Amino acid sequence: MMEINVEVVSKEIIKPSSPTSTHLRTYHLSFLDQISSHVYNPFVLFYQNHKNLNNHNLLHLYSTNIKKSLSNLLSRYHLFAGRLKQTTVDCNDEGIPYFEAKINCKLSDFLQNPDPQQLHKFIAFELNGLGLDLLLGLQFNLFNCGGIAIGICISHKVADAISCLLFIKNLAATTRGCTDDDDDQNKIVWPKFESAKLFPPKEASALGRPGGVVIPTLKIVTRRFVFGSDKIESLRAKYQEEDGATRRPSRVETLSAFITSRFMAALKVGFGDDKRRLVIGHAFNLRKRVDPPLEENSFGNIARPFVKVLSSNNMSDVMSQMRELIVSGDDKEHAKSLQKEGIDPTLNFFEQHADELMKGELVCICFTSICRFPLYVDFGWGKPSWVATNPFPYKNFVVLADSRLGGIEAYIDMEEEDMVKFQNDQELL
């Protein structure tokens, strides 16, 4: 994997094209926002230079269009141009950082074997969000061949993956010149800011540990694993036969179970004299699970992880237990407890088992899937060659995303020593 050098050549602040109305100057965080960490959701979109424009023209034309669109969009996403406070966002129109950077290689060279450890170079902030009150940043990266990488990072404190991707989709559509009067394919769907009404905030004293999970200080490394369609279909058939189920497991169920089983094998969790127990977690979109159901443009953190302690460390049982976890995501009582009572069973679980987790008696691996989400969006110069993300800097965290060529990419964060064992697992290879 090649080492790339990214040189930031300009920095500026993009402000909304029109001022925020007085009645919108304070954005209240919801209960789900309050218990979410202020870390950044990063997305990097890579575009080839199909029009063969030279670097100066590209930088001027494309970057100028994005800045103009971003300014217009901030008038609709008024909180992004504000600053994060303890329980609110001060929508003061101070604007968002916009960086322009040059890359010392060709895009094609980088894409031959992309290194997820270098993705942070394409975005404006460190993922951990420490010391920052900013909610959004964008970095326009230009390769020396004219290829482009658009790096966007949005704070998880105010937005889940669906809200982030809707914003990126709207930014791309606005840059293409689309409006909310266009046909269904190009029509811009604006966000609905209603999460604080749906999930009323709590007093700080009632929240327990703010942010839930503390970002570890151990060295975490990220690796990207690509599972082709044939591999996934083979695993689906295998798990269906072993489980004796009439329904073939989904792609996400299959890969989640497979990665979990290889994780257990590589780290010897529960093997022999090892008394550790494994906790599996999966994040779920709650928009269709609350009452009444919400539209996908409902903005905020309207997703939460569900967790399950494996009742058996027998790897042949992992698929059935993973399926039980994912089926539990449809339990509307869980969503009801969040919405009506302000009770999060997952947060309570981690609070109750904090000592076991700290001592390593419980080992947790958590998944989130953005498969079938609109990742590959067009800013006006064609669809991207690749869209990359990067997990939050948490131990044993997995993001599943569609590959443009079919199959699924898994971005996996682990401690460096564990990753060495995991990536050398023969069944994984």
Q: Residue 231, by phi and psi: left (phi above 0), alpha (psi -120 to 50) or beta? A: alpha
Q: Quick one: 372 exposed, middle or buried, by C-beta within 10 A (0-12, 13-18, 19+)?
A: exposed
Cα 39 to Cα 390: distance, rounded to the nearest angstrom:
12
Which SS3 state, helix, strand or coil, does residue 398 take? strand
Helices (H), 98-245: 107-112, 161-176, 195-198, 229-243
Q: Quick one: 126 exposed, middle or buried, by C-beta within 10 A (0-12, 13-18, 19+)?
A: middle
Residues facing residue 225 across a β-bridge: 410
Lookup result for tokens 């977690």 = 281
Q: Give CA angle at 253 (250, 255), nearest 5°.
A: 105
For residue 150, what is the enclosing H or E element? strand 148-155
Which SS3 state, helix, strand or coil, does residue 251 take? helix
CB count in 10 Å sphere of residue 269: 18
Active-site residue, 156 included = yes
DSSP 5-58: -EEEEEEEEE--SSPPPGGGSEEEPPHHHHTS---EEEEEEEE--TT---HHHH
Asked if 169 contacts 387 with a C-beta cutoff of 8 angstroms, the reply is: no
Nearest to 172 by CA among 16, 388, 15, 378: 378
**Sign, Cα dihedral of 334, 336, 338, 344:** negative
Nearest to 100 by CA among 49, 147, 42, 142: 142
- Residues 6 or more apart whose CB falls under 8 angstroms from that of 320 comprise 243, 245
Distance of CA 378 to the CA centre of its chain: 20
Q: Given 38, 78, 120, 156, which residue is catalytic?
A: 156
Sheet holding 136-143, edge to edge: 6-14, 96-103, 136-143, 148-155, 40-47, 386-389
CB count in 10 Å sphere of residue 408: 21
Q: Active-site residue numbers?
A: 156, 378
